[in-house]
Structure 1
Amino acid sequence: MTSIEITSEEQAELGKALTDALNPLAAAIRSRQSGLPTARMWDADPVDVTLSVLAAWKMVDAEVKRLTAIAAATAGSYGASYEQMGAVWGITRQGARKKWPDAVPRPAAVAAQRGAALELFGGAAELVQDPSSGGWAWAGEGADETRGAAEGGVWYATKEEAAAHAGAFLREHAAPHS
């Protein structure tokens, strides 16, 4: 897979959607800083208003970086290589490894997974196999200390399927980053 291009129409739609999503955050920041209600945000000094917008974009940028790292780790957990991630991101394999150093499991981590342990997104899960049926289940704790397990005694056909469900749980309960 190579770097993804978007059309100018898609870029315009994305810009509008992001700006629409940003405006309430910028208004809330400006309201807190000025004491004005959010509906009167634009009545403030134009420099202060534009700096509030810039501050909101900084927060969006940090959140996008956090979500991007989660997406890279998820891709790596499913077997994507740094070369593939770099191609999609428009950087080299080495650049992808530097950007997301823990996204692709190292051979030692893969060996640990064979031992039925999974560590992702700051949390951990144990994979267990039912000796009689051969099915797999999981139980774990996310980085936010939320505990979870395979629902209602469900046994998955493969260890990989149980790991995928456990990984999704760990991703949902990843620690927030600033």
Structure 2
Amino acid sequence: MGNSGEIENAATGRDVDRVALDAALLEALNPVAEALQARATGLPPDRMWAAEPVEVSLSVLAAWKVVDEEVKRLTAIAARTAGSYGANYERLGAAWGITRQGARKKWPDAVGKRREASKLELFGGRAELSWEEVPGGWCWSGLGADGTHSAADGTGGFPTKEEAAAHAGAFLKEHAE
């Protein structure tokens, strides 16, 4: 009998978590839906709910599409980050509740060649991106067009190659001729 109480409490906890998540997502969604509705109807965003119910519903649906695309993008970044730290497809699949093969299909570039060094040439300067075991992340080292040399500070690497490239690119832009 004790087990059924534990199961019921766990289910109740998940229900409470889901209600809280739903509320947070709806709160975050409202500005997106309002902006989409304002563009579609010309109504000011605060008048979204004064539109026809079908139009309001379609604006909410369109906003969920934007959120869905962003969640997919962020999920792929999280999978690549886990892969860059050494997670294999079996572990990625387990985290997502799918098979190893499903994870490989969902995120084909998450594991493997993610640690290959590369060069970046922008604004007349150049930078090299590389994976460093210590501090454990992507680092960069660059030479600006104005002759200034710099590198990612030694506090730790970036979780993704793209993030390191963004910082290197900002440095190169700042030190263009």
Q: TM-score scaled to structure 1, two decimals?
A: 0.66
Query: In the alignment, is residue 138 of structure 1 matched against residue 120 of structure 2?
Result: no
Alignment of 1:83-162 (within 5 A): 83-106=90-113, 113=116, 117=117, 125-126=129-130, 138-139=140-141, 149-151=151-153, 154=154
Task: Indicate the residue corresponding to 1:13 in structure 2.
Answer: 20
Please state how far the C-alpha of 1:169 moved relative to its aligned partner.
6.5
The match for 2:163 among 163, 167, 171 is 171
Q: Which residue of 1 aligns with 2:82?
A: 75
Superposed displacement of residue 124, structure 1: 6.5
Residues 8-29 of structure 1 deviation map (CA, whole Å, 9 limit, x = unaligned): 1111101110000000110111
Find runs of 4+ consecutive structure 1 residues off by over 2 angstroms.
137-140, 166-174
What residue in structure 1 maps to residue 64 of structure 2? 57
**Is contact 1:125–1:166 with CA below 8 Å preserved after alignment?**
no
Are residues 167 and 88 of structure 1, via their aligned partners in 2, closer, same or farther at CA, if it must alter by over 3 Å?
closer
Describe the SS at the equivalent of 1:139: strand
Secondary structure of 2:29's aligned partner: helix
Structure having the higher Rg: 2
Please state how far the C-alpha of 1:39 moved relative to its aligned partner: 1.2
In 2, are the aligned partners of 1:70 and 1:171 still within 8 Å (CA)?
no
- Aligned in 2, Cα 1:38/1:166: closer, same or farther, shift over 3 Å? closer
SS of alignment partner, residue 138 of structure 1 = strand
Q: Which runs of 5+ in 2 are unaligned?
A: 1-10, 120-126, 133-138, 143-149, 168-177
For residues 167 and 75 of structure 1, do their structure 2 counterparts lie closer, same or farther at Cα, with a shift above 3 Å needed? Answer: same
**Identity over aligned residues, as a percent?**
53
- What is the TM-score when the length of structure 2 is the normalising length? 0.66
RMSD: 3.0
Q: Secondary structure at the match of 2:101?
A: helix
* Contact preservation (8 Å) 2:84, 2:160: no
Whole-angstrom CA distance in 1 between matches of 2:72 and 2:36: 21
In structure 1, the residue matched to 2:8 is: none
User: Where do residues 18-33 of structure 1 align in structure 2 (5 Å cutoff)?
Assistant: 18-33=25-40
Q: Which amino acid aligns with 2:105?
A: K
Q: Distance in 2 between matches of 1:90 and 1:127?
A: 29
Equivalenced residue count is: 135
Q: What SS does the aligned partner of 2:108 have?
A: coil
Q: Deviations over 1:22-81 (max 9, x none)?
A: 001101110111111111111111101100000000000000000000000000000011
